[in-house]
Every structure is written in C-alpha cells, then in structure tokens.
A = this chain, B = another copy of it.
Amino acid sequence: MKKIGVAILGLGVVGGGTYKLLTEKADFYRKTQGLDLVVESVLESDPQRTAALGIPSDKIACNIAEAVLNPDVNVVVECIGGTDPAKEYVLAALHAGKTVVTSNKELIAKEFFALEHAAKSHNAGLYFEASCVGGVPVIRALTDGVQSNTITSVKGIINGTTNYILTKMTETGATYEEALEDARKLGIAEADPTADVEGYDAAYKLSILSSLAFHAKVPYTKIFREGITGISAEDIADGNALGYRLKLLAIAKRTDAGIEARVHPAFVRKDHPLASVEGSYNAVFLTGDCVGDLMLYGRGAGELPTASAVVSDIIFAATRGEHRYSHLKSGAHAEKESFSDDFESAFYLRLTVNDEPGVLAKISSVLGKYGVSVEELIQRAERDRPGKATLVLITHKTHELSVKKAVKKLSDSDHASVDSVLRVEL
C-alpha cells in the first residue's frame, strides 16, 4: 500500500481538524483509497494544542527544517494563516520537493506566482482547495470539473460571518450591531471582525476563484470592495418587501470591457438559488459557455469542513499522479489583462421626500435625465416624520456612474435626501 507521510504546520482549527481526520479515519482511507496517510510531523509552538490532540512528542518538530526535511514526509500541510512566516515555510517545503496543501487564502491570493514558480521548479504539488469556501470542492470543480468551459461569471456568497449577520438581520429585524454581537457570541465573528465585515476575506477568495475561472490573474488589489457595516435593518426590510434578499456577494465577470471583480452587499431576487443560502452556509454560482449555470453550496468554514478539503487535496495529490501548474500569465510574459470598473447593475434606492403633490414626478424626472429608469417602487408616509414620505425603488440595470450622478443631483435638490444606495444583482 502506498504510504504518504504528512507534516502539519499549525494546529489551530483547520490544522487540528486535519490531524483528527488523518488519525481517526486512517483505516477508512486505507480501505477506500488504498493509501496509508500518516502524520509524521507537526510544527506547533503551543504545547496545549499538541497535548489536546494527544500528539506523541517525537512527532513534534522543533523548527520548520525538521518538519519539511523529514524524509518520511511527502506532503506538507500549511494551516498557519497570514503570509509571515507561512510564505517562508511553504517555500521551504516546495524547495525540498515536498507537495504543499494549504488552507491559507491570504497567502495564495498574495503570493501565488512565487509559490507556483517554486512548485514547478521542484516538481512539487501545490494544492489549495481549503483556501476557498471550506469543504465545498469549488476549486476542484473549476480546475477539473468544468475546465471544458469558458467561464464568464463567478458569483458567490463566500464569507460565512457576513452571511450569518445578514441572515440574522433579515430573519429577526436585528440591527447590524445586534447581529454582529450575536455572531461573536457564537464564535462566528472574531473580536475584530474587520476582515470579514469589510469584505477582505471574500476579496482574497474571489481573487483565487476568478483567477482560476478566467485563466487570468485577478489581483485582490483590483477587486472593488465594500463591506456590510453600513447596512440598516430598514434596507433589509424594504428590500424584503420588494422580494429581494440582501447578501454580501463576490462577483467576477468577464465582459467585453475586461474583467470586473467586486465584493459588496447586493440584493438578489428571492427565487434566485443564492437567495436561499442562509446563515453560515456558502455558495458559488458559476456560468460557463457549455454547462450554463452551476451552483455549489455547503459549509464555507469550520474545523471539519475545511479539514475535509485539506485531506481531499492530500489524497488527490497522492492518487492523481502528475502535478499540474496553471497557465496563468505572470511577470514579463503576462498578457495585458484589462480590468473594468464601470459596473452595470440594477440599484436599490431609499429616499426621504417631501410628502407633497408632484414629488414622484420630480424624482423620476431627475433619474430619467441620467438614464436611470425605475422598475419597482414603494411609497409610504412616515408617521414619525410629518410631511415626509419614504420612497424605496429598484432601478433597471444601468451604469453605476449614472446612478451616482443621479443620486448626487437628488441629494443637492430640495425634493429628497438619499438615505441608502445598494446594488441589485439580477
């Protein structure tokens, strides 16, 4: 039986989960895969973590060299996170000709070319299914399931924390702050939730997924990013009343104008498959020229779902023979990719207007001047603000710039104040 020795760097949630799967399910992998997967070495400075997992002391490496140069180690699993020292450690493993499996989205999003170059030079594998959307095999789908397609669009709910918060706000009418507090209590949001709620986490993942989908490097720095901290309970309720659900969407499209990539809150229609992705679930919705629409849905984070992806990569590397490298262009040989920031979208606008005859005509007229036409509209009187009314409207698809101009014109006028502007993804 083929034996694969594994070193695990970092025994946090994902590394610990990986250790558990490899030890507890070893017999299952022998039976079903014909593979003897053995943890030969771990690198973890916190003795409480190694003790909690019951790891024998002779398997605990003192330094990175000991872990990756161990001749019994074939695959190095990196679950440290961040780029320092993860990059150095991963390069050390690749330079030693060891295949690397990582769950580190920031590392892959920022350092892919350097890592792939090292992997290729040393004929080592580089696998990172666990870096995106937990246990959902979306990278395998892109590289080995629908690689026959020209992918034109990737849309996803790829951050569980924000999806939990928005779902909570939708279901209970909670404010952003209340929902965030709830997520913190459940361990779904971190003490400093910036990376999640401001969309950085989603942007890293979108960079990875769209680069694979489009066979073109989409740097995370090129991704437009807007978080969910400004979302009000009122926006969610009003959108709901019009038949929409608010999600933090990661969207990448290949258009004639170039690649557009963005992470921002957006309404989707209630009958869209992404609308029913609730709580901490994630989903990625792909469109290809042959396969049409395809969605993968599942747990985007967590100990065992993410470890599931790590172990899947270890088995894949061990059983599918040759390692492959991307055909992404980089450096001097890069094809000039153009990126577009003139997004087209429908919009949700919430305005406070003077409750007087003709005001609706005035608003429509301003919007019309900028080519923005209204698809749906709700007007309601405001009991606590006499003489004022609220207008909630959804526009037809239009250029973002047109909406911005119209909003400025409305804000400058005496007729209305613009309380909220959100995108609607059709």
Interface residues of A (CB under 8 A from B): 17, 21, 25, 28-29, 31-34, 129, 134-137, 140-141, 144-150, 215, 271, 273, 276, 288-299, 302, 304-305, 307-312, 314-316, 319-322, 324, 327
Contacts and interface: CB of A to CB of B under 8 A. Distances in A.
A271 B278 CA distance: 10
A213 to B, nearest CB: 11
Contacts of A312: 144-148
Contacts of A17: 290
A87 to B, nearest CB: 26
A294 B136 contact: yes
A135 B294 contact: yes
Contacts of A141: 137, 140-141, 145
Nearest to A34: B327
Given A137-B141, A276-B276, A304-B290, A147 B298 contact: no
B292 A295 contact: no
A155 to B, nearest CB: 13
A45 B310 CA distance: 48
Contact of A308 (B149, B302, B305, B309): B149
Nearest to A297: B295
Contacts of A29: 148
B145 A140 contact: yes
Contact of A32 (B215, B273, B292, B305): B215
A378 B138 CA distance: 43
A148 B276 contact: no
A1 to B, nearest CB: 12
A402 to B, nearest CB: 33
Contacts of A292: 135, 298-299, 302, 304-305
A196 B130 CA distance: 38
Contact of A144 (B289, B290, B316): B316
A123 to B, nearest CB: 13
24 contacts: A17-B290, A21-B148, A25-B150, A32-B147, A33-B327, A135-B290, A135-B291, A135-B292, A135-B294, A140-B144, A140-B145, A141-B145, A144-B315, A144-B320, A148-B307, A148-B310, A148-B315, A149-B308, A276-B276, A290-B304, A291-B304, A294-B296, A294-B297, A296-B297
Nearest to A319: B324
